Each structure stands twice: as structure tokens, then as C-alpha cells.
Amino acid sequence: FVLCFHHKMSLGLLTLRALRGAPGLCRRTPAATGGLRAASSAAPRDKRAVITESTEEYKFVERLIPPTRIPDPPKHVGAAPSGWTPPAESPPPLPYMIRRSRMHNIPVYSDLTHGNRRMTLVRKVEGDIWALEKDVREYLRQVTGKELPTQVNEVTMTLKVKGHFEQELKDWLASKGF
């Protein structure tokens, strides 16, 4: 990147010098020609062009290159304006743990298949997933009043619940401190 950048710069300087050498060809602004003429007249006996290589201007390129790691969210007092709450300082004393996603959100997602099959998926569970399933069933029974079928996948450590309960489960898990 550095070499091509300076190659273009030095090409520009060379062409401008060639133009200035031929009389009557350069019709630029007097300020530009005055500055350039001063630079060329400083070393008139050096016929060969001196190409200097400097990496000082590369800092302008470096500050544009994006990072790869997701940064930690800034510290808010209580909830952020969007409604996002950070996880608790220490994990809650429950037999299960639900980690945050890589964008620091609660991993509860709603799913719609076959046009009418509504499901809610809780991912990234660690620990005793059956205890979490019991608590989720208990909580949703209080909220809705009906017994909802759930599916526990012990291999992938996920929990599926019939129906769209994404917001309720997210608020419940946030209140628990996950």
C-alpha cells in the first residue's frame, strides 16, 4: 500500500516538473507555480529525480482499517436508552447459566416455520438444562395460564417453547441477572 501511494505522488511530481521544463505549457495558478519553481530551483544541478520513501502519512490509512473484535459495551447507569441491560456483575446462584451472544444480547429468538408454527428458542445454555425448563414452564404458566409444550436438546443445549414468548423470556432472564 505504501509503495503505490508514493509511486503516484512521485509520478505527479515528475510530470509537473517535465511540464515546467517545457516553456509555455504550464498555465497553473501563480501560487502553485511559484512554490514548485522554488523547490526545483533549489537544486538545479541535480538532474536525476530523488524519490524519497516515507511512511509517515500511512497513519491516515491505518486509522481507516476496521477492527475485528467486538468491543465491550460502554457503562450505563441502569438500562441504556434502547432498553438494553448489561448482565449482572456476578452470575446468579442458579444450577444453569445462559451466556450472552457475541453482541452482548440475551440469546432468545422467535421462529416461524410452515407459515403457522411459532416457536421460541433459548440458546447458549450451560449447566442443568432441565431445571431451566421447569422454571420456564412455571413462569409461562403464570403469564399465559396454559401448559406449553417444550423441547430440550441436550446435545446442543437449547430449549424450544411453543409460541412466541421472546420479549417475556428476555425480560425474565434479564431480571434474573443473566
Partner 1 sequence: LFFSPQFASSFSSETALPPNLRLPSNLVDPDRLKRPPPPEDSSLPLIRKCDAALPAHLSPVRTWVDTLESKDSEPLGLTELHPDVFAVTPRLDILHAVETWQRNYKRISHANTKVRSEVRGGGRKPWKQKGSGRARHGSIRSFPPLKLNCGVSHGPRGPNSYYYMLPMKVRVQGLKVALSSKMAQQYLHVVDSLNIPTPDSQYLLELIRNRHWGESVLLVDVSQEFPENILQATANLKTVNLIPAIGLNVHSMLKHEAVILTLDTVRFLEEKLLWHDERYTFLYPFKLPYSDFP
Applying CB under 8 A, the residues found at the interface with partner 1 are 62, 65-70, 89-91, 97, 99, 102, 126, 130, 154-157
What's the rounded Cα separation, in Å, for the pair 143 and 176?
16
Q: Using CA atoms, how far apart are residues 78 and 146, in angstroms rounded to an integer?
A: 33
Q: How far is the CB of 94 from partner 1 (least distance, A)?
A: 10
DSSP state of 65: S
What's the closest the beta carbon of residue 65 comes to partner 1, in angstroms?
Answer: 5
Decide: 46 and 94 in contact? Cβ < 8 Å. Answer: no
Give the number of other Cβ atoms within 10 Å of residue 177's Cβ.
Answer: 14
In the complex, minimum distance from the CB of residue 17 to partner 1, in angstroms, rounded to a whole number: 33
Which residue, 61 or 143, is less far from partner 1 as judged by CB?
Answer: 61
Query: In this structure, which amino acid lies at residue 59?
Result: K
| CB nearer to partner 1: pick between 56 and 62 | 62
Considering beta carbons, is residue 163 or 177 the nearer one to partner 1?
177
Task: Give 107 or 165: the residue with its C-beta nearer to partner 1.
Answer: 107
Compute the least distance from the CB of residue 68 to partner 1, in Å. Answer: 5
CA 120, 123, 126 angle in degrees (round to 5)?
135
List 112's β-bridge partners, or say none.
118
